[in-house]
A and B are shown apart, each in its own frame.
Chain A
Amino acid sequence: MENNRCKIKVKNLSVWYKSFQALREVSMEIYPQSITGLIGPSGCGKSTFLRCMNRLNDLVASFRLEGNIDIDDYNIYKPETDVVMIRRKVGMVFQQPNPFPMSIFDNVAFGVREHNPRIKKGELEDIVIDSLKRANLWDEVKDKLNVSGLSLSGGQQQRLCIARVLAVSPEIILLDEPCSALDPVSTAKIEELLFHLKDSYTVLVVTHNLGQARRISDYIGFFLNGNLVEYGKAADLVVKPSEKSTEDYLAGNFG
């Protein structure tokens, strides 16, 4: 697809919840310093796919997986993998903003302190400030860092969740419909910040909003019934999809 080396290489990924197959032989190469959008109708397996990248699906008892996911050429489903280490490298932002019930500062500092309990106060403050800036939230919260994260608006909470992830310096950021609970203004702010983030991270965004997928993605993958139907450069896929079902979806015929 491109000469660029790939960051995540998914090969023949199949996933089951009990006997229900949620993903079918999905293969996909995801590139660094880019935004990859995942689209498709509800229940097609987008979240499942995303949660395989940081092994969050391990929490589901009935979950079973076949195939490979290599991050930097390392298969993260190898039995001896340290899941906690993988998750440090692969941050996640959820559909519903879920800041911890603690202050804005502590929300961002929490992960840093956990990973590095002996960090100096000044160093920690620098990281928190830098992360809030990168999440475009600093100006709005700089005077109330000790206020509870729960007191922020939905959009601010979501940016706080992004800051919290940035603070632990991941390489990959997964976002599962990060704007679906937000108003258009908040959505625009997050889109803008994602656009900046892609310079430094590999970003994967699930979205129900086709306009958003078009606006922010460099690559788009279209899922249907657990299959990756089509995957390619956003511009190409949107303008002339090669599959009939992608065309139907883009035309708004189902979803």
Chain B
Amino acid sequence: MLGHAACWLSGLLTLFLLLFIVIFLVLKGIHVISWDFIATNPKPSLDQNLTGGIFTPVIGTFLLVAMGTLFALPWALATAIYLAEYSEGNLWVGPIRTGIDILSGVPTIVFAIFGLAIFTNPHLSLFSTMVEDVANAKAFGRSFMVSSITMAMMVLPFIIKSIEEAIKAVPSAYREAAYGMGISKWRTIRKIVLPSAIPGIITGVVLGIGRIAGDTAIVWLCLGGSMTLTGTQPWWQPQNWLATLQNTGSTLTTYIFYSSPAGEGNSPDKAFGAGLILIIIIFALNSLVDYWGRYRTLREE
């Protein structure tokens, strides 16, 4: 009886925890949120009222989420297909699985220094920019491209796992039916198994989105500390897109860090406002992807 009550209370407490965080953010941050806040660039200033808005960090968050997912998804999908469908009896399964498990436990700051170390190699300057005026040739190693590739590595194990689960959950009766009609294994996977696994694939993507949007360490090290987009301006013109991706910027997480007194900034209210927006964006992206998945499966049934 007592145990039951304790468990129930813990559950309730969890809900309150969430509500508490959200309410706290709303109370602290809602008054800075306006269209201007979202649509103007951050500006450096000691006066909180003059520090502008969060436009470029929002863009940065969307950029990293989109590109990180784009890099991670095909890679994860192929790996998951291998593990679920082709790995039986293969010598490499054990090491690959262990590798994925370890990878999923690596702190993101470790991915971050790894990404930075790799991409400062001057031969990989394509992914960022060259540092000028130093004795040894060196790439800057910080850019949207570098951070999204690093993000992709970071979310890879989680996406692989959820896609593999999804593939394995597809009823074997579908496979047997297809094989029994003389459909090859690959075509069966392509046309029958993967479409049935879409909800699980979506879950994986949503998981990845949340992790990318919420990560700070990788952004901090691999995207650098400038609040605005540092590529050729205006960044929204197509001929400047590549430069934008090769250069740096910020996301909502680093914006929060640099704005809060805990970081280097002195705009705590704006940090809370940005936190609120970040949570809303993550929630909206999740719902959107989820809804899209449901819609697809509904239409097919």
Q: Do A and B bind each other?
A: yes
Interface on A for B, CB 8 Å cutoff?
A: 54, 56, 59, 61, 84-89, 91-92, 94, 96, 98, 100-103, 110-111, 114-115, 148, 150-151, 161, 164-165, 168
- Cα A54 to Cα B180 in complex, Å, equals 7
Chain B residue with minimal CB distance to A174?
B180
Given A148-B301, A151-B301, decide whether A100 and B177 contact each other with a Cβ distance below 8 A: yes
- Cα A94 to Cα B180 in complex, Å, equals 10
| Chain B neighbourhood of A110, CB < 8 A | 181, 191
- Cα A98 to Cα B297 in complex, Å, equals 17
| Chain B neighbourhood of A100, CB < 8 A | 174, 177-178, 192
| Chain B neighbourhood of A101, CB < 8 A | 174, 195-196, 300-301
Asked if B88 is an interface residue, CB under 8 A from chain A, the answer is: yes
Q: How near does chain A come to B32, taking the closest CB pair, in angstroms?
A: 48
B182 partner, pick from A103, A115, A151, beta carbons under 8 A: A115
A87 contacts B301, CB within 8 Å? no
A114 contacts B196, CB within 8 Å? no
A56 contacts B181, CB within 8 Å? no
Interface on B for A, CB 8 Å cutoff?
A: 88-89, 171, 173-174, 176-184, 187, 191-192, 195-196, 300-301
B176 contacts A56, CB within 8 Å? yes
- Cα A92 to Cα B173 in complex, Å, equals 12
For the complex with contacts A86-B182, A92-B180, A98-B174, 18 further pairs of A-B residues with Cβ separation under 8 Å are A56-B179, A56-B180, A59-B176, A59-B179, A84-B182, A87-B179, A87-B181, A87-B182, A89-B182, A94-B173, A94-B177, A101-B174, A101-B196, A111-B181, A111-B183, A148-B301, A151-B301, A168-B182
B300 contacts A114, CB within 8 Å? no
Q: How near does chain A come to B182, taking the closest CB pair, in angstroms?
A: 3
| Chain B neighbourhood of A103, CB < 8 A | 300
Q: How near does chain B come to A166, taking the closest CB pair, in angstroms?
A: 11
- Cα A100 to Cα B171 in complex, Å, equals 10
A114 contacts B179, CB within 8 Å? no
B181 contacts A94, CB within 8 Å? no
- Cα A127 to Cα B174 in complex, Å, equals 22
Given A87-B181, A88-B181, decide whether A61 and B89 contact each other with a Cβ distance below 8 A: yes
| Chain B neighbourhood of A98, CB < 8 A | 171, 173-174, 176-177
- Cα A160 to Cα B54 in complex, Å, equals 57
- Cα A24 to Cα B248 in complex, Å, equals 71
| Chain B neighbourhood of A96, CB < 8 A | 173
| Chain B neighbourhood of A56, CB < 8 A | 176, 179-180
B187 contacts A114, CB within 8 Å? yes
| Chain B neighbourhood of A102, CB < 8 A | 195, 300
- Cα A61 to Cα B89 in complex, Å, equals 9
Q: How near does chain A come to B75, taking the closest CB pair, in angstroms?
A: 27
A148 partner, pick from B171, B179, B181, B300, beta carbons under 8 A: B300
Chain A residue with minimal CB distance to B89?
A61
Chain B residue with minimal CB distance to A58?
B179
| Chain A neighbourhood of B195, CB < 8 A | 101-102
Pull 14 A–B residue pairs with CB atoms less than 8 Å apart, ordered by A.
Answer: A56-B176, A85-B182, A86-B182, A89-B182, A91-B181, A94-B176, A94-B177, A98-B174, A98-B176, A101-B174, A114-B181, A114-B183, A114-B191, A164-B181
Given A98-B173, A100-B177, A151-B301, decide whether A111 and B182 contact each other with a Cβ distance below 8 A: yes
Q: How near does chain A come to B87, taking the closest CB pair, in angstroms?
A: 13
B181 contacts A165, CB within 8 Å? yes
| Chain A neighbourhood of B300, CB < 8 A | 101-103, 148
- Cα A85 to Cα B181 in complex, Å, equals 9
Q: How near does chain B come to A218, taking the closest CB pair, in angstroms?
A: 24
| Chain A neighbourhood of B176, CB < 8 A | 56, 59, 92, 94, 98
- Cα A151 to Cα B301 in complex, Å, equals 8
Q: How near does chain B come to A85, taking the closest CB pair, in angstroms?
A: 7
Chain A residue with minimal CB distance to B177?
A98
Among all A-B residue pairs, the 7 with the closest Cβ atoms: A88-B182, A92-B180, A98-B173, A87-B182, A148-B301, A111-B181, A98-B177
Q: How near does chain A come to B198, taking the closest CB pair, in angstroms?
A: 10
| Chain A neighbourhood of B89, CB < 8 A | 61
- Cα A164 to Cα B182 in complex, Å, equals 12
Chain B residue with minimal CB distance to A106?
B300
| Chain B neighbourhood of A85, CB < 8 A | 182
- Cα A148 to Cα B180 in complex, Å, equals 21
- Cα A100 to Cα B180 in complex, Å, equals 13
Q: How near does chain A come to B188, taking the closest CB pair, in angstroms?
A: 9
- Cα A94 to Cα B184 in complex, Å, equals 19
| Chain B neighbourhood of A168, CB < 8 A | 181-182
- Cα A161 to Cα B191 in complex, Å, equals 17
- Cα A96 to Cα B171 in complex, Å, equals 12
- Cα A150 to Cα B301 in complex, Å, equals 7
| Chain A neighbourhood of B196, CB < 8 A | 101
Task: Pick from A85, A98, A150 the residue with the most CB of B within 10 Å.
Answer: A98
Given A101-B300, A150-B301, decide whether A91 and B174 contact each other with a Cβ distance below 8 A: no
| Chain B neighbourhood of A91, CB < 8 A | 180-181
B180 partner, pick from A87, A115, A150, A151, beta carbons under 8 A: A87
